[in-house]
Amino acid sequence: MTGAAIVMEHVRKSYGAHVALRDISLQVASGERVVVCGPSGSGKSTLIRCLNRLERHDSGQITVDGVELTDDIAALRTVRRHVGMVFQNFNLFPHLTVLQNCTLTPMRVPGIGAAEAEALAMSFLERVRIPEQAHKYPAQLSGGQQQRVAIARALAMQPRIMLFDEPTSALDPEMIQEVLDCMIELAQTGMTMVVVTHEMGFARRVADRMIFMDDGQILEQGIPASLFDDPQTQRLRDFLGRIVHAG
């Protein structure tokens, strides 16, 4: 199937008695930007974490970048090198400088020297507008800066797909916009993106498609405007009501 970056077919996942994903089928086209939202515990984080197999699905099929995700470690590593991920808690490596965090993956590419890897990493740090912090350690940076470094670190792999798991949820309010701006710029380059977020302004502006999840299922999906303006289910109406109040 050409053009499909991600295909999920009848994916199920449960933790003991708790069912996190029930029969999810979903396709994300290459270059598409999908925003996933839903109340906490709805399975949206599990869904995105299944896409690079940080969580193993119980049944169904997940194909990412043309490769099916199985226990084949070598194939999985190839997929992971094409899929960047940004976490809620940044998960930068505290014992490495910002630059070292970002050169970790380019250094591994055969034939790339240290100088070349650093130049590449610097170019991504410039893209997220913090090249001047390159030689500091993560703990010396603000939350917003750390998350931008995390984006640069993922981009330094030169991935084809980027996954964002609630990238602004751990940030102080005044730092959210600087991270969203980086993501908006990234979206404009045509990157395939799956973003779990409650930032509805971002969804409206960037998303080609919005997915609303509840109780491990996709309840509604479509262009953001139609979900916002014409929700079909009571669940989504309640959710949007709470989000707007909270915002």
Partner 1 sequence: MIAALRRLGPRNWWSGLATIVLVLALWQAGAALFDWAVIRGHGWDTGPKQCQLDGGACWAVLTEKYRFILFGRYPYEQQWRPAVVIGIFVALFGASASRYSWRPALAGLWVAALALVLVLMRGGFAPLPLVPQDQWGGLPITLLLSSVGCVLAFPLAVLVALGRRARTLPAIRLLCVIYIEVIRGVPLVALLFMASVMLPLFLPAGMNFDKLVRVQVVIILFAAAYLAEAVRGGLQALPQGQFEAAEALGLSYWQTQRRIILPQALRLVIPSLVNIFTGLFKDTSLVLIVGILDFLTAGKVALADPAWQGFGNEVYLALGAVYLGFSLFLSASSRRLEAT
Q: 83 by DSSP, 3-state: which?
A: strand
User: What are the angstrom distances between the C-alpha of 164 and each of 58, 88, 201?
Assistant: 23, 8, 16
- Min dist CB 54 to partner 1, Å, is 5
Strands (E), the chain: 4-15, 18-29, 33-37, 59-64, 67-68, 83-86, 161-165, 192-196, 209-214, 217-222
Q: For partner 1, which is the closer residue by CB, 146 or 239?
A: 146
- Binding-site member from 52, 145, 146, 168 for partner 1 (CB under 8 A): 52
- Min dist CB 77 to partner 1, Å, is 5
Query: What span, in angstroms and rounded, lies between the C-alpha atoms of 145 and 65?
Result: 30
- Min dist CB 208 to partner 1, Å, is 24
Q: Does 95 bind partner 1 (CB under 8 A)?
A: yes
Q: For partner 1, which is the closer residue by CB, 54 or 240?
A: 54
- Binding-site member from 25, 59, 78, 140 for partner 1 (CB under 8 A): 78
Q: For partner 1, which is the closer residue by CB, 29 or 54?
A: 54
In this structure, what are the phi and psi dihedrals at residue 69, rounded to the nearest 5 degrees?
A: -85, 115
Q: Does 104 bind partner 1 (CB under 8 A)?
A: yes
Q: Does 3 bind partner 1 (CB under 8 A)?
A: no
In this structure, what are the phi and psi dihedrals at residue 131, rounded to the nearest 5 degrees?
A: -60, -25
Q: Does 157 bind partner 1 (CB under 8 A)?
A: yes
User: What are the angstrom distances between the C-alpha of 7 and each of 29, 90, 161, 213?
Assistant: 9, 26, 13, 17
Q: For partner 1, which is the closer residue by CB, 83 or 180?
A: 83
Contacts of 3 (CB under 8 A, 6+ apart): 29, 30
Q: Does 153 bind partner 1 (CB under 8 A)?
A: yes
Q: Does 91 bind partner 1 (CB under 8 A)?
A: yes
- Binding-site member from 92, 125, 179, 180 for partner 1 (CB under 8 A): 92
Residue numbers at the binding site for partner 1 (CB under 8 A): 52, 54, 77-78, 80-81, 83-85, 87, 89, 91-95, 104-105, 108, 153-154, 157
